[in-house]
Structure 1
Amino acid sequence: MTSRRDASREALQKHAKAIGAHDLAVPADIRVVDAVPLLGSGKTDYVGATMLARKLGEPLQERAYCDDIDPAPPSGTSVEHMTVQ
């Protein structure tokens, strides 16, 4: 999961090869999102990122009702307090 619009598996594989990393270190699936969920501290919100990854993995018709939800909660808000309307 990344917010870089130019991210691709091919580019990551090329970089991994250049630095001597094994191909297994490169994710098989790269998802570009508007914003990676962050905690109030600015660190990655892994619970929120996992929820977003699961949502992105669902077929489109199953997640169409929540496409307008911002994946990143407001600063200082935990994912457990988010509600889907």
Structure 2
Amino acid sequence: MARTIGELYDSILFQIEKTQESQSYQTESGAQLTRGQLSTLYAERNRLLEKIEQYGRNYIEGQNTAPIGDISLVSFA
């Protein structure tokens, strides 16, 4: 089943959180150190945020091509 951009974004945020936790550690002297770079995950997060802004959170890439706007259902009596 295809995943929406919002679901992909949530997955990236989870991966970033887990990577940050595993990349950071404390030495015996009490110093907090962080290893590695998260630039690839951050770049993917930013790419997905741009698509969410353009198409909406529930967009599935390749399924529809037109950006969707906000839809309001209003009734005037």
The TM-score normalised by the length of structure 1 is 0.23
The structure with more strand, counted as a fraction of residues: 2
Bigger radius of gyration: 2
Which structure has more relative contact order (CA 8 Å, sep 6+)? It is 2
